[in-house]
Amino acid sequence: MINLRSIDLNLLTVFEVVYEERSQVRASERLCMTQPAVSHALGRLRYIANDRLFEGRTKGLIATARADELYVEIHEALNRIRHQFSESSVFDPLTTYRTFSLSVSFSGGGIFAPRLYECFQAQAPNAQLIFRTIDPSSQIPNLLREHQLDLALHNDCFDDPQLEQMVLIEDGLVIMARADHPRIRKAPTQKDCLGEKFVAAYKLLQSSRDVALNTFMAEVRERTVMEVANTLVVANTVRQTDLLAITNRQMALVCRQMLDIEFYPLPVAQPAFRLYLIWHKAYSDDPGHSWLREQMKRLVDEG
């Protein structure tokens, strides 16, 4: 095992910031160091780690697989040290001014944002809450790794060892139509549904691993004549047209309360629709982050 006395431990803080900023220029500004000093520190750490750690320059640094592994451990260790020497290591919601950022890729902010706001008003009145609904699924892991997001709520999990992922909700998909639709009433059959046209949130009609559901969804995609920004725009479009839409039951309940919309069971057997709560492992023991996760789980448990 390496002798830590032979390593300048300041190199670890430099590595942490360069990894998060993916730029030596921005890292030098954040660390109040010169860029040559940052570059020199990285060179020493590359020698110790026996790895280049980062590639590229013009469009930002790209971390190597070894850098990804090191960051998880180094960031967690440095955070533990920070907490030990910080008076704010015990998180107090009533006095915190922390900003919490969540990404809800399927536009579920309409479900969670008002209820979480009420929770913040009661327990953390000075904290700021940011709901993001525009992040492409492919960018969510990077945003979590770079700590631009605290939490992501997503309808699938990611193959990323740096992320913690838990099922927050098990739900089902439903057919949504305006309440006075001239043809869709009660429980429509597959034939009824596939005789209509659909509207969908952009790129959300994904393939399913279930054969029966995937076959039905493939036909729905062929019948989809309009794609819009998010699920709330889908609902408003459904309200004003004869188009149908597919969404999860939680979202459909919210839309029915807000708009003159009805929803019906999907006319095909389906596995559970799962919504995952996802965060970076480095935040697992963070008191403030733990509090946020607890509030999300409580909101779901209370319905």
- Structural tokens at position 177: 């139509």
In this model, does residue 172 exceed pLDDT 80? Answer: yes
In sequence order, the β-bridge partners of residue 165 are 278
In this model, does residue 279 exceed pLDDT 60? Answer: yes
**Are domains 4-88 and 173-271 of this chain identical in fold?**
no
Instruction: Let me know the angle formed at the C-alpha of 210 by 239 and 161, rounded to the nearest 5 degrees.
Output: 100
The reported pLDDT for the residue numbered 250 is 82
- pLDDT tens column, 132-164: 876 677 788 888 877 788 999 888 888 888 789
In this model, does residue 88 exceed pLDDT 60? Answer: no
The domain covering 92-169+274-301 belongs, at the CATH homologous superfamily level, to: Periplasmic binding protein-like II (3.40.190.10)
d(CA 141, CA 162): 9
- What radius of gyration do the chain's Cα atoms show? 23
The reported pLDDT for the residue numbered 54 is 92
Beta-carbon neighbour count of residue 174 at 10 Å?
A: 22
The reported pLDDT for the residue numbered 66 is 93
The proportion of the chain whose per-residue pLDDT surpasses 70, expressed as a percent, equals 89
The reported pLDDT for the residue numbered 277 is 94
**For 4-88, which CATH class?**
mainly alpha
The reported pLDDT for the residue numbered 105 is 67
Considering only residues 18 and 32, tell me which one the structure prediction assigns the higher pLDDT. 18
3 state DSSP class of 85:
helix
**For 173-271, which CATH class?**
alpha beta
Per-domain residue ranges for the chain? 4-88, 92-169+274-301, 173-271
The reported pLDDT for the residue numbered 203 is 62
- pLDDT tens column, 27-86: 888 888 888 999 999 999 999 899 999 987 667 888 999 999 999 889 888 877 876 665
The reported pLDDT for the residue numbered 29 is 86
